[in-house]
Amino acid sequence: MANIFDLSGKVAIVTGANTGIGQAIALALAEAGADIAAVGRTPATETVEKARALGRKAEIVSADLSSIEPVQRVVDEAVEKLGGLHILINNAGIIRRADSVDFTEADWDVVMGTNLKSVFFLCQAAGRHMIAQGYGKIVNIASLLSFQGGIRVPSYTSSKSGVAGLTKLLANEWAAKGVTVNGIAPGYIETNNTEALRADETRNRQILERIPAGRWGAASDLGGAAVFLSAPASDYVQGHILTVDGGWMGR
């Protein structure tokens, strides 16, 4: 029986691949056999070196996804440098924190631009390529705040709720065209985005008290889910948001 989790011969774009969740997912895909186009605002040198050490092709694609200007170039560079495109992981994202009564238009726009607008247009650019070849896997990184409201992160919550809805819409449109579109909603993961929460003794304790697993997640905890949704194992999974949260949503 063929290995339904094998990604050999596949090319994956991973955005925000230089650190944290993006790096962990890129390396998990590489371990499963995929070649990696590592997209980041700063060069994902370490990620590329580690992927190559696993015997994979890997290339840096520099792009600032706070605007959609580089979107088509990201897809074109991946295809040119690595010979194709089969998987897109939309991971790049930012967060701004402030009370909603004080939240600025600038913080609203930059978060929505990176977390939702660029995600859609990357899906569109990659989707055109994937539909033409009759096969593709898109995985959008959502959030627990795709389901919940959160506190003091109005643009982040709105963007990640939008990511969940967009994932379902694209699945509806593209499922019959050979392209699967799903999402992963990470729980509370130790990354730069959650540093402020972990530094707040009271908030950190409250979070840990609710997580049945009793710990913050590691970025590597997302790897298996990303491989599953990028592999033939998930060919009949469409429009699903898979929570990887230590049991938070079931509490």
Of 66, 94, 81, 93, the C-alpha closest to 13 is 81
Report the alpha-carbon distance of residue 208 to residue 38 in Å, rounded: 32
DSSP H or E run through 242: strand 241-244
Contact by Cβ (8 Å): 111, 155: yes
Distant-in-sequence, close-in-space partners of 143: CB < 8 Å, separation ≥ 6: 156, 160, 163, 185, 186
**Coil vs helix vs strand at 222:** helix
Catalytic residue among 135, 156, 188, 236: 156
Structure tokens at 61: 């694609």
Tell me, yes or no, if 156 is annotated catalytic: yes
Which ranges of the chain would DSSP assign to H, the alpha helix?
A: 20-31, 45-53, 71-82, 105-112, 118-133, 154-174, 195-199, 201-210, 223-230
Q: Which residues participate in catalysis according to the annotation?
A: 156
